[in-house]
């Protein structure tokens, strides 16, 4: 609900359990008042009295701009007395850059706001557009807010408009700014940082005076830092206390900052990375930022995560694909790497069919001259020397076995040893006179150029339309360097990285629309582009190249802080694990991989008979619980970063059914009689835990708990929990 109170000049925005309030203060600034538990419009005067008047500049002072540095603002100004970092900075032709935004008008509309060319919330109940005018230039800023009754996510973005005649350069345009007026420095910030094969580990540290800046400068959201930050109030725990989430629906270079001022107020804001960013805005033009998804939770981190999971599943992921039952896949990458032919692929396919697998995914190496990673990218036609009879032969074998077929692409890349590069060397990102940085022996295509995106669209479309393909794995295996496009003029090079991201979105939009029945899985050298923007096109994303039965619990735990289990692609791979060299039980790898879109990534023909029986059992188990995993509420019970256990459970929305997966890392003789308290059940219902043959009330399972199983190193357990009359 969006309520405007003309008497108070205030806006109260409310979702399922939160409210967000701001007002136009006496000086005409849009001042932030409140973000927290749900309130009613009658509460507005209290908010103004508590948080408004005290921070409002003195109207009688002609230098009032100078008093805005403590004023909680919805859009930070620059060069006019607000000395915190600005939200929008606009440069003039003469080099001046200063702004002071004041309220002009507002509009409340039904539904969501479209964001052409970028991912955005597909629906909303209502949206609010507040127009501010810069008193120092001919620019306006529209602040956009969208809310829905059934969601705890507030969607924000902004649009900068040039309403004058001269050309401006936007030097910074973040998507949101939220000031916390009453925090006095008692908050911590949690970021999801990592590396290749160690993505999205939660790192929490107290905020202190100064600025915490998390960012990517790599041209995509990155393995190293996810475009998500949470602000935790003192005492916030997994299931209690207050916290706020800030997630960007953006896949390019980003920044999110949490700035604690001299008076220990906090300003959180984020959007497109402003480092060397610039965007020219001619008279009459406008520029829209990506959206950000903000969340308030009074039920700790778990409450925040569940709100995000519901949001991504219902508002971002394509509804048709979100509802698709995810196929259990066998992917040949770790089974064969580049070394495959009809014979070894067919053997895997034949075996997959016997074990109950749904889809065979042919990974890297099927095209061009791609026998290793130095050649072939960009040549999206099958290598018939390697695959006799081409893709049709492999697909035919799949069909004979009742399997569907999926295929790997890396559409944004080119190898110098490729026909594409030989024909169009200028299509790769490079700067004449500078030797390009090569990574994995490949270059990045210049997706700021429409003709490049058009070509790749045609090439990939040709393969998809000529073959019966139900699944695409869309990979991306390097960072962007030499940020420069020969097709952009000198004064527009600051637009390069964002334009690249828009090119990626353009291709993703066109391909996913042209092939509506294909399930597109995102991937970037593992989980390097796992963000809310990518989820708009890819309902699931390869979470990490690290499929080790222990490390994966951490990666999936961290990823779930913001992203739903349905978005995590999780596979069982061979041991010793190719990344960590660790050996974990087959059952554990299966249990951990069941907490997402599951599959296998190994040579099925090399499994023992016992392991094959385990695969069959794992798939049977998965088909019982996949709806729960993909649609249920997640409760994180034991933090793998903190103790000897990992444990998570998913509970159906009606609380009649749950599925729990646990792992004990070390078989420790002194670590016994530990109690595991379940969560998310209904206290009044009686449940039956199938594997324990135990019936107990929800109150007992959550209040008293059950013993953790005593298991050897990396031993795991799975429990199916049903309401007793649902058994
Ligand atoms: C990186 C991906 O994460 C892997 O799963 C695999 O597809 C390779 N790329 C192929 O080059």
Tens of pLDDT, residue by residue over 255-293, are 999 999 988 899 999 999 999 999 999 999 999 999 999
Rounded distance, CA 219 to CA 501, Å?
A: 8
pLDDT digits (tens, 9 = 90+) for 214-237: 999 999 999 999 999 999 999 999
Nearest CA to ligand 1 atom 9: 525
What proportions of the chain, in percent to the nearest 5, are helix, strand and coil? 25, 30, 45
Of residues 229, 271, 231, the one with CA closest to residue 251: 271
Nearest CA to ligand 1 atom 2: 525
What is the CATH number that goes with domain 2-316?
2.70.98.60
Q: Given a cut of 90, is residue 513 above it in pLDDT?
A: yes
Nearest CA to ligand 1 atom 10: 364
Which of 376, 545, 555, 569 is the pocket-test mutation for ligand 1 (most atoms within 8 Å of CB)? Answer: 545
Q: Given a cut of 70, is residue 394 above it in pLDDT?
A: yes
Q: Which two tokens stand for residue 388?
A: 């006799």
Of residues 417, 415, 329, 428, the one with CA closest to residue 377: 415
Rg (CA), the chain: 26
pLDDT digits (tens, 9 = 90+) for 362-385: 999 999 999 999 999 999 999 999
Which ligand 1 atom sits nearest the alpha carbon of residue 545?
Answer: 3
Which ligand 1 atom sits nearest the alpha carbon of residue 601?
Answer: 5
Rounded distance, CA 355 to CA 616, Å?
A: 5
**What's phi and psi for 79, nearest 5 deg?**
75, 15
> Domain-by-domain residue ranges, the chain?
2-316, 638-726
Of all residues in the chain, what percent carry a pLDDT higher than 70? 99
Q: Which two tokens stand for residue 49?
A: 């009295």
Which ligand 1 atom sits nearest the alpha carbon of residue 473?
Answer: 7
CB 138 within 8 A of CB 163: yes
Q: Which two tokens stand for residue 271?
A: 């959007």
**What's phi and psi for 304, nearest 5 deg?**
-60, -45
pLDDT at position 574:
98
End-to-end CA distance of the chain: 40
Q: Given a cut of 90, is residue 635 above it in pLDDT?
A: yes
Q: Which two tokens stand for residue 102?
A: 């004041």
Which of 195, 364, 412, 413 is the pocket-test mutation for ligand 1 (most atoms within 8 Å of CB)? Answer: 364
Of residues 557, 21, 497, 73, the one with CA closest to residue 255: 497
Rounded distance, CA 602 to CA 599, Å?
A: 10
Which ligand 1 atom sits nearest the alpha carbon of residue 373?
Answer: 11
The pLDDT confidence band at residue 328, using thresholds 50, 70 and 90, is very high
Q: Which two tokens stand for residue 707?
A: 């013993």
Distance 504 CA to ligand 1 centre (A): 18
Distance 557 CA to ligand 1 centre (A): 22
DSSP assignment, residue 324? Answer: S
Q: Given a cut of 80, is residue 483 above it in pLDDT?
A: yes
Nearest CA to ligand 1 atom 1: 525
CA distances from 116 to 120, 182, 289, 291, 614 (A): 9, 37, 11, 12, 47
Rounded distance, CA 42 to CA 423, Å?
A: 67
pLDDT at position 726:
67
pLDDT at position 512:
97
Distance 529 CA to ligand 1 centre (A): 13
Of residues 329, 331, 334, the one with CA closest to residue 577: 334
Average pLDDT of the chain?
96
What amino acid positions are annotated as catalytic residues?
475, 545
Which ligand 1 atom sits nearest the alpha carbon of residue 523?
Answer: 3
From the centroid of its chain, how far is CA 139? 32
pLDDT digits (tens, 9 = 90+) for 573-609: 999 999 999 999 999 999 999 999 999 999 999 999 9
Distance 364 CA to ligand 1 centre (A): 7
CB 654 within 8 A of CB 667: no
Q: Which two tokens stand for residue 125?
A: 């109940």
Rounded distance, CA 252 to CA 343, Å?
A: 41
Nearest CA to ligand 1 atom 11: 364
Q: Given a cut of 70, is residue 243 above it in pLDDT?
A: yes
CATH level 2 (architecture), domain 638-726 = Sandwich (2.60)
Reported residue count of the chain is 727
Helix axes 551-559, 586-593, angle to 10 degrees: 10
Distance 360 CA to ligand 1 centre (A): 15
Which ligand 1 atom sits nearest the alpha carbon of residue 363?
Answer: 7
Ligand 1 contacts (CB < 6 A) are 333, 363-364, 408, 475, 477, 523, 525-526, 542, 545
Residue-by-residue DSSP string for 432-457? TTSPPPPBTTEEEB-TTSHHHHHHHH
Which of 338, 363, 546 is the pocket-test mutation for ligand 1 (most atoms within 8 Å of CB)? Answer: 363
Which of 333, 376, 574 is the pocket-test mutation for ligand 1 (most atoms within 8 Å of CB)? Answer: 333
Which range among 91-95, 357-361, 711-715 shows the weakest confidence by mean pLDDT? 91-95
């Amino acid at each position: 609900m969006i309520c405007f109170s003309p008497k108070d000049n205030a806006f109260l925005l409310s979702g399922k359990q939160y409210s967000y309030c701001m007002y136009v203060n006496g000086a005409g600034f849009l001042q932030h008042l409140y973000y927290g538990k749900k309130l009613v419009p009658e509460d507005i005067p209290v908010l103004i009295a508590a948080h408004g008047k005290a921070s409002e500049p003195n109207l009688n002072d002609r230098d009032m701009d100078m008093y805005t540095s403590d004023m909680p603002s919805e859009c930070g100004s620059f060069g006019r007395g607000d000395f915190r970092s600005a939200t929008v900075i606009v440069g003039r032709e003469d080099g001046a850059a200063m702004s002071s935004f004041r309220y002009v008008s507002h509009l409340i509309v039904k539904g969501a706001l479209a964001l052409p060319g970028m991912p955005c919330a597909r629906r909303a109940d209502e949206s609010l557009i507040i127009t501010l005018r810069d008193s120092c230039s001919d620019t306006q800023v529209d602040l956009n807010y969208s809310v829905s009754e059934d969601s705890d996510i507030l969607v924000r973005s902004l649009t900068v408009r040039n309403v004058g005649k001269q050309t401006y350069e936007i030097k910074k345009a973040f998507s949101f700014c939220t000031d916390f007026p009453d925090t006095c420095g008692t908050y911590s910030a949690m970021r999801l940082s990592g590396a290749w094969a160690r993505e999205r580990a939660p790192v929490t540290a107290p905020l202190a005076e100064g600025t915490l800046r998390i960012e990517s400068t790599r041209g995509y959201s990155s393995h190293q830092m996810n475009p998500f930050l949470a602000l935790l109030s003192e005492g916030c725990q997994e299931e209690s206390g207050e916290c706020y989430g800030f997630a960007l629906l953006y896949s390019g270079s980003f920044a999110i900052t949490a700035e604690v001022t001299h008076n220990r107020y906090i300003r959180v804001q984020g959007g497109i990375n402003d480092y060397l960013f610039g965007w020219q805005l001619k008279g009459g033009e406008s520029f829209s930022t990506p959206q950000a998804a903000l969340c308030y939770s009074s039920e700790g981190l778990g409450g925040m995560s569940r709100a995000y999971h519901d949001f991504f599943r219902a508002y971002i992921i394509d509804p048709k694909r979100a509802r698709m039952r995810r196929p259990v896949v066998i992917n040949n990458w770790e089974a064969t790497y580049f070394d495959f032919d009809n014979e070894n692929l067919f053997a895997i396919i034949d075996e997959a069919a016997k074990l109950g697998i749904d889809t065979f995914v042919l990974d890297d190496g099927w095209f061009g001259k791609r026998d290793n990673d130095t050649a072939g990218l960009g040549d999206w036609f099958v290598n018939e020397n390697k695959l006799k009879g081409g893709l049709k032969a492999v697909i035919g074998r799949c069909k004979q076995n009742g399997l569907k077929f999926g295929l790997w692409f890396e559409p944004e890349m080119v190898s110098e040893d490729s026909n594409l590069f030989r024909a169009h060397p200028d299509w790769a990102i490079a700067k004449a006179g500078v030797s390009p940085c090569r990574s994995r022996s490949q270059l990045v295509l210049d997706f700021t150029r429409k003709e490049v995106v058009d070509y790749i669209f045609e090439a990939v479309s040709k393969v998809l339309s000529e073959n019966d393909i139900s699944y695409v794995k869309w990979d991306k295996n390097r960072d962007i360097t030499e940020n420069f496009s020969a097709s952009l003029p000198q004064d527009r090079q600051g637009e390069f990285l964002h334009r690249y991201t828009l090119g990626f979105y353009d291709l993703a939009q066109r391909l996913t629309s042209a092939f509506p029945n294909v399930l597109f899985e995102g991937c970037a050298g593992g989980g390097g582009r796992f963000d809310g923007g990518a989820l708009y096109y890819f309902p699931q994303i390869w979470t990490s190249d690290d499929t080790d039965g222990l490390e994966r619990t951490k990666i999936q735990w961290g990823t779930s802080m913001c992203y739903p289990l349905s978005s995590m692609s999780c596979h069982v791979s061979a041991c010793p694990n190719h990344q960590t060299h660790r050996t974990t039980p087959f059952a554990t790898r299966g249990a951990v991989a069941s907490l997402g879109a599951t599959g296998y990534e190994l040579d099925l023909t090399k499994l023992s008979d016992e392991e094959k029986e385990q695969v069959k059992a794992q798939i049977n188990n998965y088909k019982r619980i996949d709806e729960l995993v993909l649609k249920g509420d997640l409760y994180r019970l034991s933090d793998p970063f903190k103790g000897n256990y990992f444990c998570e459970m998913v509970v159906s929305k009606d609380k009649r059914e749950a599925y729990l997966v646990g792992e004990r890392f070390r078989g420790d003789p002194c670590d016994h009689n530990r109690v595991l308290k379940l969560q998310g059940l209904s206290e009044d219902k009686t449940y039956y835990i199938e594997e324990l043959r135990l019936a107990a009330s929800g109150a007992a399972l959550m209040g008293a708990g059950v013993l953790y199983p005593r298991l050897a190193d990396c031993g795991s357990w799975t429990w199916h929990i049903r309401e007793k009359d649902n058994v």
